[in-house]
Amino acid sequence: MADEFDPEKFEDKYVHYFNELQRAYKNAFNHMNDRHDSELIHGIDQAVLNESEPFYEDGEFRVELPDDPRERIRGVVPVDDETFEETLAEYVDRIETELHRTFQIERLE
Is 37's pLDDT higher than 60?
yes
What is the tens place of the pLDDT at every residue in 38-63?
999 999 999 999 999 999 999 999 99
Q: Taking CA 60 as the corner, what is the angle to CA 58 and CA 66, rounded to the nearest 5 degrees?
A: 105
Say which DSSP state 57 is in.
Answer: E
What is the tens place of the pLDDT at every residue in 63-103?
999 999 999 998 888 999 999 999 999 999 999 999 999 99
pTM, two decimals, is: 0.92
Q: Residue 39: inside a domain, yes or no? A: yes
Is 2's pLDDT higher than 60?
no
Q: Residue 60: inside a domain, yes or no? A: yes
pLDDT of residue 107: 82
Q: Residue 108: inside a domain, yes or no? A: no
Q: Residue 67: inside a domain, yes or no? A: yes
Q: Residue 109: inside a domain, yes or no? A: no
Report how many domains make up the chain: 1
List own/partner pairs for 50-56 with CB under 8 A and 24 or more apart. Answer: 52/92, 52/95, 54/13, 54/21, 54/24, 54/95, 54/99, 55/10, 56/7, 56/10, 56/99
